[in-house]
Structure 1
Amino acid sequence: MSDLEFDYVIVGAGAAGCTLANQLSAQLDVTVCLLEAGPMDKHPTVRVPAGFTRVIGNASRTWSFETEPTVQTANRSIPLIQGKMLGGSTSLNGMVYVRGQRADFDAWAALGNPGWSYKEVLPFFRALESRTFGEPEYSGRSGPVNVTRVRWRDPACSAFMEAAVENGLPINPDYNGREQKGVDFTQATIHRRRRVSASTAFLQTATRRRNLHVVTHAVAERILFSTNRAVGVRYVRDGQPMSVKARREVIVSAGTINTARLLQISGVGDPDWLVQLGVPLVNALPGVGRNLRDHYLCTLVAGGQRFRSINQLAAWPRLGLQLARYVLGAVSILELPPPVMHCFMKSADDGRDADIQGVFTPASNHRVHSAKLDSAAGMTFGFWQHRPMSSGYVRAVSTSLCEQPLIQPNYLADERDRAVVVAGFRLMRNLLRSQSLKPYIREETLPGEHVETDEALLQFAQQTGRTAYHFVGTASMGPASNRLSVVGADLRVHRMESLRVVDASIMPQMISGNTQATTMMLALKAADIIRRQSR
């Protein structure tokens, strides 16, 4: 590999990298090299939807980071897991498919990013997905990413939907369509009871092409430059340093955390930070690593009754029956994403679409650091604020990838975020205490009915909240006149040649939903931009 040269070298085979590798290698007159730090994704625990609980603790398939503690998280460090295998986090995430709202992308365009309005990105969403439901104006029918509705039905789920309607939410059979607000069963990247990842959707076909070379277990150490031009990537494989050259471009798609870190240790970033790293400055871009945003997940838990929760079905001997049902194609808990239902709510009557995303599942777990479910029946209500105002940073502390970077999302640092979190607890608690759910609730166990004041609810959020794994923003898209932007609207790094960033790190603001759909969309759009510019 040290002597090989390709037209495009892509760092990272996650949601964006797999999409790009497929789209660019479809041009048979170009060559593409895709570098992935982890292994292949061909393992039963990766393909079976419920298997994600076994993958999360697997060090060979995950990057295990953690945040810096703050007062707003009760001085806790919060674990952050990212995928490290083909498919990246799409090979271990909750498979939830939420694209975001029209206003999210119109806001991107208004920040000085032409081409990124909702009207302009919608065709790429439609090209991405294959859904058998939703208005054709808003949904795709023949894309590579299959999206299906959860098939699971039980009394608690029916009661949750009735509770939402009781509280003024409409039933919305397509929250990825005209409007997001409402309640319905989760839309998920699951097809024929199997996980659909960026790898299965894009790489399975692309790897048959002779012009695409995929290298696993390749940990990128440095982007190589000739003055301000990216010319290749140095990486380590099986303990051996290697390098690969790029004739046209190096494209960094390593994920919001690792993309920022790789740019910094390669000499692209804040000069003050790079001096402390001992890294020669290649390009002074103080925005690299800044503007980190994430969704802060809060939960309520209740003991259940008069229905069989997933807790009980996941324990032997009932689990054996669920395994048999899964093999035979019948509805089974093994095909479920973590949230069975979604509701999108408003914390204020301001005429806008929802600003809170709620999730519900007829299962519970009181063990904070364990994936093991409770033995008795239970249910969980979770939520997060769509567009947090708080932002933080990712900062490399060493050129060694064995040493974790500093990761500080600054959860709840902004007073407005704290107010929305309290409102979210009130809204979800209204559902929990509704007449529709009352027959199935034994008692609220977390935070418990004694936690009632705004101050007490906020304190509970600070003590128990965690990441929703939706990291964005550390290589923010914006005009060069914005000193904290990193890439332009064509995703080229400012004041550099042959270097782009294509992943969730370029999102200038958080979207109103989970990030996998939008990351794959923006990679489709990036590939289109690259093809047009290379003519």
Structure 2
Amino acid sequence: MFAGYPSVDIADLLDTYDYVVVGGGTAGCVLANRLSRDVGASVLLLERGGIQDSWISRVPLFSSHFASDGSRSWVTKSIAQGHADNREMEIIGGNCLGGSSRINAMLYTRGLPAEFNAWTKSGSWDYRSMEPHFVKSESNLDRKLDSEKHSGTTGGEWVHRSHNHLHWVHSEHIIKATSSMGIPYVEDPNSPFQPAHGCAKLHYSIDRRGQRCSTFAAFLPRQLALSRTHRLHICTNTLVCRIELSGGSEAGAVKSEGVWVKSRNDSTPPILIRARREVIMCAGPIGTPHLLLLSGIGPRDHLKDHGIAVKKDLPGVGSHLQDHLTVPVQFCVPVSDSLAKIQLRPWIILKELFLYLFFGLGLLLSPVLELSVFIQSRLLDKEFNVSSYSEHDMDSSNPENRPDIEIMPVRSGDITYAHTDTVQIAWGEVNKHRQGGLCFFTVMLRPTSMGTIRLNSNDPALPPAIDPNYLSTSHDISAHRKAVRFALRLKDRMVAQGYPVVTYSAPDFDSDQEIDAYVRSKCQSTYHYSSTCRMGPEHAGVVDEDLKVHGVEGLRIADSSVFPEILSTHIAAATVAVAEKCSALLQGPAAPEPSIV
């Protein structure tokens, strides 16, 4: 028990549950909520991390991984990336109930209908079949939005909203600059009628009280968990060691019987918890394939190399890892137009705290990223403008029109600059100058590089070998080159409009060689891992269109690892929709079907 939250110790667990959900992250909280609605079903939710429900963890500005003490995060390193200067990249995920929805940027972006229409080659999923599951979970506070495509304030549990006004002067200049470059402004990036590219006003999973609305807060709040203690057990700080599989050989029928679990906090031996109906994996695109491999489901040769009995030879497990790689291009802007004003003028935080606590307003709502620019790079001309496009190019349902570049303008804190000619000309300073930071994170949305999750050892407490294989194709380095050049042109357009922004860290626009070197030395993850247990036929995938693991009875997967390919957007909303889809598949026609309201 933690602060009154009804968690259950391992010693008090039942021997058998109807459903065992492995992973209490973004998707797992949704599944636990939906499956435990059935008064006749018993559900166990197993989470590696803790509950971690402090006040500071709910304040938007202070609750992300990068603004917190890291206690809600799981952090490890990738293997050295040979195409990125041999650097070991930081790998980050959530390590508490709610998972990455507790530490991310709170962005609610579904993605274009085209994203899901492209999935039809892997099964029967498309946007038409996915839209009801988006609508079911959401409660949209922007009443002026299309009510047929969003749930209103009486909709689902997961609240999202946009901000009523722009907090930063440079955001207004970005909208004007992108418009002058042929890129339209998009008020509702989650509408299926949006154009296929644009400068989008972002929506955040922030509730009516101005608090982070993680899937933990939305789907497993304390009162709901208390009301279902007789049929929903939530067990935290628990290590799932492997899935118990019956079946005599790798060629025979295999069935999931349950999971072996132990406490992370002591050395007691693992115990077997059985599942009458199914085990559902929601451990994420790293944890899910890792556990399947430990259990004997995966590439035969790799399992044998680690002395693991092969239960099901499934080469797709841990393969096809994709992520959005970003390259930061850093600028300096006036202190008053960045988060530096909080660092350098401490009294401002008192004002912001007052606005937040009493009125639910101000910078603590974390508008660190209030716009994002989505681009189809094939439409860019030599000057990096979208000079012409057809009605076909703007069709957001056509998979050909998915954006491949995103520019995320992120406000950063204080930057102390050594005296340079550029800064001297811009501000006439001498020796040193302190300025605010504005970073254009240039993101490649449609990578062709694919990596792997593989075992380092047979110890489930140790992280697997994570190889994103970044920048391993010429397509990807070329796409980053275009993204960096677009960011520099966007900055030039803002300067032409009279906004005082100066380049701090960026390569020479005209040098392919310098840009490529910059990309390899500066690139980093956006932590949008996906597709390591992707949906598709057995020779190429891990799950079928019902999310069942090929050749293994009683085992499904419902997290971003099942994406056939990475989405051209931020992935939390789609992960929740996958969990909603899974609950509908599990509960069958007798369960209320989601419908558009």
- Per the shorter chain, which TM-score range? over 0.9
Deviations 1:385-409 (A, max 9, x none): 2221111100012121333211111
Between structure 1 and structure 2, the one with the greater Rg is 2
Residue aligned with 1:184, SS: strand
Mapped pair 1:233 → 2:259:
yes
Cα 1:51/1:76, change in 2 over 3 Å = same
Aligned position for 1:162: 176
The match for 1:294 is: 323
| Amino acid corresponding to residue 364 of structure 2 in structure 1 | L
Is 1:494 aligned to 2:536, yes or no? no
Q: Deviations over 1:35-82 (max 9, x none)?
A: 001111311232111123567775653221222222321111110111
Pick aligned residue for 2:210 from 154, 171, 193: 193
Other structure's SS at 1:376 match: strand
Number of residue equivalences: 524
**How far is 1:505 from its partner?**
0.5
The CA deviation at 1:498 is 0.5
One-letter amino acid matched to 1:441:
P
Q: Does 1:118 align with 2:127?
A: yes
Structure 1 residue 226, shift from structure 2 partner:
2.0
1:412 pairs with 2:471: yes
Aligned to 2:53, the other structure's residue is in SS state coil
- One of 34, 37, 40 as aligned partner of 2:51: 40
Partner in structure 2 of residue 4 of structure 1: 15
Moved more, 167-176 or 322-331: 322-331
Map 1:140-219 onto structure 2 (within 5 A): 140-141=151-152, 142-151=155-164, 152-177=166-191, 178-179=193-194, 180-191=196-207, 192-204=209-221, 206-207=224-225, 208-209=227-228, 210-219=230-239
Deviation at 1:292, TM superposition (A): 0.3
Cα offset, 1:362, TM superposition: 3.4
Distance 1:328 1:314 in 2: 22
Q: What pairs up with 1:121-520 in 2 under 5 angstroms?
A: 121-131=130-140, 132=142, 133-141=144-152, 142-151=155-164, 152-177=166-191, 178-179=193-194, 180-191=196-207, 192-204=209-221, 206-207=224-225, 208-209=227-228, 210-227=230-247, 228-237=254-263, 238-239=265-266, 240=268, 241-305=270-334, 307-315=336-344, 316-349=346-379, 351=393, 352-364=401-413, 376-435=435-494, 439-447=498-506, 450=508, 452-480=510-538, 483-520=539-576
Question: Equivalents in 2 of 1:466, 1:366: separation in Å?
Answer: 20
Task: Determine the structure 2 residue equivalent to 1:371.
Answer: none
34, 39, 49: which one aligns with 1:28:
39
* Local SS of the residue matching 1:214: strand
CA contact (8 A) 1:302 1:442 kept: yes
2:158 and 2:218 in contact (8 A); partners too: yes
Is the 2:72–2:102 contact (alpha carbons within 8 Å) kept by the matching residues of 1? no
| Contact 1:49/1:195 (<8 A) preserved | yes
CA distance in 1, matches of 2:589, 2:296: 26
State whether residues 156 and 362 of structure 1, in contact with CA within 8 Å, keep that contact through their aligned partners in structure 2: no
Aligned to 1:82: 93
* Pairs within 5 Å for 1:55-66: 58=69, 60-66=71-77
> 1:258-308: per-residue Cα shift (whole Å, max 9, x none)?
111000001111111111221111111111000100000112111113843
Q: Distance in 2 between matches of 1:347 and 1:283?
A: 42
How far apart are the structure 2 equivalents of 1:163 and 1:214?
49
Whole-Å separation in 2 of the counterparts to 1:252 and 1:412: 30
Shift of 1:2: 6.0
Moved more, 506-515 or 40-49: 40-49
1:530 aligns with 2:550: no
Q: Select between 458-467 and 305-314 the one with higher mean Cα deviation.
A: 305-314
Tell me the TM-score normalized by structure 1: 0.93
Structure 1 CA distance for aligned equivalents of residues 343 and 335 of structure 2: 17
Q: Is the 8 A contact 1:156 1:307 kept in 2?
A: no
Q: Secondary structure at the match of 2:271?
A: strand
In 2, are the aligned partners of 1:10 and 1:35 still within 8 Å (CA)? yes
SS for the counterpart of 2:326 is strand
**Secondary structure of residue in 1 paired with 2:19:** strand
The 1:310/1:3 distance shift into structure 2, 3 A limit, reads closer
Whole-angstrom distance in 2 between the partners of 1:135 and 1:436: 36
Report the 3-state secondary structure (helix = DSSP H, G, I; strand = E; otherwise coil) of the residue aligned with 1:168.
coil
Q: Is the 8 A contact 1:44 1:51 kept in 2?
A: no
Deviation per residue, 1:103-147 (Å, 9 max, x gap): 221111123x11x11111011111121222432333222121111
Structure 1, 466-475 or 206-215: larger mean CA deviation: 206-215
Mapped partners of 1:361, 1:70: distance in 2: 26
Alpha carbons 1:306, 1:440 under 8 Å: kept: no
Question: Between the two proteins, what is the percent identity of the paired residues?
Answer: 29
1:144 is aligned with what amino acid?
A: E
